[in-house]
Structure 1
Amino acid sequence: MTRRPRNDHGGGGGTARTGWLLGALLLVALNLRAPITSVPPVVDDVAAGLGLSSAGVGLLTSVPVLCFALCTPLASVAVARLGPELSLGAALGGIVAGTLLRSGGNVPVALVGTAVIGVAITIGNVAVPVLITRDFRRRAAAVTGAYSATMNLGSTFTTMLTVPLAVTFG
């Protein structure tokens, strides 16, 4: 009889830890695109508030995608050295910090905050698949599908709710 390694939860019900882990990953998924998809619905207000030209708006909205392209190799190294849990915690902290920075009210701070968000999301993009393949080895495809679907739901909800929240709270 072969023993299954302790961290191979298989993703199949069974343990409370597996359920909590899956729930945590899906909560991460809800938030991993929100800082990017929240800008386009209010981009005219952001441009007016920061005094941005069309080129400036284009730069602001493309910085996260540039970070994805440029920082993925570095994120892979960070996840390998720090581990996926610490990396994901840093990514979530970076998203919060970048969001607060981006709200600072001037162009340089908004660009830096947006870059922090882009780097943080890049780290999350690398760390989550590592966690899924490690902790849900036998159900990695199903968990990855649920994660991807939840990430898209988070983007959809953010896009739909940004304008009403901006109108309500300014």
Structure 2
Amino acid sequence: MTVREVIRTSSGQGLLILGILLIASTLRAPFTAVAPMLGMIRGTTGISAAEAGVLTTLPLLAFAAISPIAAGLARRYGMERCLFGALLVIATGIAIRSTCPTSALFAGTGAIGAGIAVANVLLPGLLKRDFPDRVASLTGAYAIMSGLVQAVASTAAIPLAQLPGSSWHLSLAATLVLPVAALIAWAPQLGMPSTGATQAASAQDRGRIWRSALAWQVTGFLGLTSVVFYVIVGWLPAILAEAGYPAATAGSLHGLLQLATAIPGVLLGAAVRRTKDQRALAVGVALTTCLSLFGLWQLPALAVLWIALFGFGAGAAFLLGLSFVSLRASHAREAAALSGMAQCLGYSLAAAGPPLAGLAHDATGNWGLALGACAIATLLMAVLGSFAGRARTI
């Protein structure tokens, strides 16, 4: 029995799964919690609306820049060590961002994005390697964890900042508990032997991925999902404020959106696991997201309904997109290569979404054009999902 097999006993697997779930808790909350406090941050730092847009886009730019090299880092140092390093970078970024200088706010946010990018890319490959028969259920589990934690972070952000003697700096600093907990839980995995050469993508794997139509369909589905999701996450408080909702209510509804993204992890994981063909699921969640955007645009008085529906649809689409990365790959190396491709291109698209939505608002004086464009994007998601969901591998 190899060292890896000894460590991956039932008790060792439990510790590994705990570590994966705690890593998942750091994948969104450290940067999505910023959106409800943008007004407060602008009021104390004096940054412009354009600079605030850059702040919300920085993590996505970091995702796009770092994703292509994450698999190479894992090949050289091993997945376990790279994930530990990613958590250290996230923790350092949160600490830097929470200090007073405005430059530190941007530098820390960029570092957070870089750390999250590495974890985003490597987790699908880790699941494919160590849990090949449980990919869908574990992807669902870490989606639930990510959604629940970001819901709490978004909902609690403003109340924490408004406590006596507190500020937005301290509210953002509170998210430091997430990577610290994950570092403690993940530390035992550093004892694993380095098998980077077999677990990360080779140049041959990467070349085959970039020439695959199926890989481009998975990438397009995940990329458009990211664009739509981050436009709404970044601008929802502003959309609700324009519709007449108070800031505190907008923050709570922002938290509701994050909470709703966790629900598909409970329901969809089992469905994905039982079906080899996920085309109907992909089309269904894309159309659900489209309906929610149209409702938010035309009937903002029912924002609670539309936000809950959007969170469910977009959360399910994210879960499917992440599952496609593992399910459509033949082995862990290929999953790492596909993950790097999908997240590099997907987050490059997503980074352009929030600034373009802001420009559309400034040009028209309302959010109708941005919401309509996102609705159209979900229809294209449905088309790509009908191809990416086919029961085949690259």
Q: Same fold (TM over 0.5)?
A: yes
**What does the per-residue CA deviation read over 1:55-100, in whole Å, with 9 as the maximum and x for residues that have no partner?**
0100111000111112210122112222111111111111110011
| Residue equivalent to 1:16 | 11
> Which one of the candidate residues 33, 58, 61 is aligned to 1:63?
58
| Residue equivalent to 1:108 | 103
The answer (yes or no) to whether the contact 2:93–2:111 under 8 Å persists in 1 is yes
| Residue equivalent to 2:118 | 123
Of 160-169 and 64-73, more deviation after overlay is shown by: 160-169
**Whole-Å separation in 1 of the counterparts to 2:26 and 2:113:** 13
The answer (yes or no) to whether the contact 1:8–1:137 under 8 Å persists in 2 is no
| Residue equivalent to 1:94 | 89
| Residue equivalent to 2:40 | 45
Residue 6 of structure 1 pairs with residue 1 of structure 2: no
Read off the aligned partner of 1:152 and give its amino acid letter: G
SS of corresponding position for 2:47: coil
User: Could you tell me how far 1:8 is from its partner in structure 2?
Assistant: 10
Read off the aligned partner of 2:5 and give its amino acid letter: R
| Residue equivalent to 1:141 | 136
**Whole-Å separation in 2 of the counterparts to 1:36 and 1:16:** 33
**Whole-Å separation in 2 of the counterparts to 1:18 and 1:134:** 13
SS of corresponding position for 1:52: coil
Read off the aligned partner of 1:26 and give its amino acid letter: L
Q: Which has the larger radius of gyration?
A: 2
| Residue equivalent to 2:160 | 165
| Residue equivalent to 2:24 | 29
| Residue equivalent to 1:83 | 78
**What does the per-residue CA deviation read over 1:139-159, in whole Å, with 9 as the maximum and x for residues that have no partner?**
122111111221122211111
SS of corresponding position for 1:137: coil
User: Could you tell me how far 1:7 is from its partner in structure 2?
Assistant: 7.4
**Whole-Å separation in 2 of the counterparts to 1:156 and 1:79:** 30
Read off the aligned partner of 1:98 and give its amino acid letter: G
Of 50-59 and 155-164, more deviation after overlay is shown by: 155-164
Read off the aligned partner of 2:130 and give its amino acid letter: D
**Whole-Å separation in 1 of the counterparts to 2:80 and 2:108:** 23
**What does the per-residue CA deviation read over 1:95-122, in whole Å, with 9 as the maximum and x for residues that have no partner?**
1100111122222221111110110000
The gaps in structure 2 that reach 5 residues or longer are: 168-394
Read off the aligned partner of 1:166 and give its amino acid letter: A
SS of corresponding position for 2:5: coil
**Whole-Å separation in 1 of the counterparts to 2:89 and 2:6:** 27
**Greater RCO, 1 or 2 (C-alpha within 8 Å, sep 6+):** 1
Residue 154 of structure 1 pairs with residue 149 of structure 2: yes
Paired positions, count:
162
Of 139-148 and 115-124, more deviation after overlay is shown by: 139-148
**Whole-Å separation in 2 of the counterparts to 1:74 and 1:156:** 30
**Whole-Å separation in 1 of the counterparts to 2:114 and 2:123:** 14
SS of corresponding position for 2:25: helix
The gaps in structure 1 that reach 5 residues or longer are: none
Read off the aligned partner of 2:23 and give its amino acid letter: V
Read off the aligned partner of 1:107 and give its amino acid letter: T
Read off the aligned partner of 1:100 and give its amino acid letter: A
How many percent identity over aligned positions? 35
The answer (yes or no) to whether the contact 2:26–2:116 under 8 Å persists in 1 is no
What do you get for the CA RMSD once the two structures are aligned? 1.8
SS of corresponding position for 2:162: helix
| TM-score, with structure 2 as normaliser | 0.39
